[in-house]
Amino acid sequence: MSSDDVWFAYGQVNFNRRVVQWVLENAVAFQRGSWPKRVNTGYIDFPFGSHGVKHEGHFVKAALVWAEVEARLKQCGDDGLDCLSYYLGESTVAVMARKARVPEERIWGGINRAIRYAGSGRCRRWVPCPEDCQYRAEGHCMRKNKDGWDYAEWRRRMRQ
């Protein structure tokens, strides 16, 4: 499945790696407050729909998802900021590598680590998991540990 075929509805957003990657690939749309358009599947649908009153703005769900991904990446320090700069088109990996005087592979590694850290599932990695976690009770919790690990601790433990 190519990245062009991937699309998520708001109800499917669970902040795993695939979803975080997709949100970042569509960062400009999310920052504008619009949900990315679904790629044409070849099926023809007639636009049936009700014309009722909505109780929230059209931009709210996109803004909520973008704010969560942005908050998760900002926990990653320079790696998260590099990730945001790259996906927002503010800088290229080559420019970031020259500024930091490191090889491009190191910048790519930091971007990928930040995405893996941010893609922890519904629960944030740095917040300790409560005993009465609803996701753990439902069997949907993706966390391997109950303690909250910040980015530095997570990186240290992943190297072991």
What tokens appear for 142 in the block? Answer: 């993706």
Residue 82 maps to a domain: yes
Q: Which domain holds residue 77?
A: 12-35+58-125
Q: How far apart are CA 113 and CA 107, in angstroms?
A: 10
The answer to whether position 50 is within a domain reads: no
Q: Is residue 1 part of a domain?
A: no
Cβ contact 110:49 at 8 Å: no
- The pTM for the full model equals 0.81
pLDDT score recorded for residue 1:
45
Listed range (55-59, 96-100, 137-141) with the worst mean pLDDT: 137-141
Identify whether 91 is part of a domain: yes
Encoding tokens for residue 148? 């909250």
- Residue 21 falls inside a structural domain: yes
Structural domains in the chain (count)? 1
| Contact between residue 19 and residue 31 where contact means Cβ atoms under 8 Å apart | no
- The alpha carbon dihedral of 59, 61, 64, 69 has a sign of negative
Tokens of 124: 């944030």
Residue 77 domain-assigned (yes or no)? yes
Q: Would 114 be classed as within a structural domain?
A: yes
Residue keyed to tokens 């729909």: 49
Average pLDDT over residues 106-124: 91
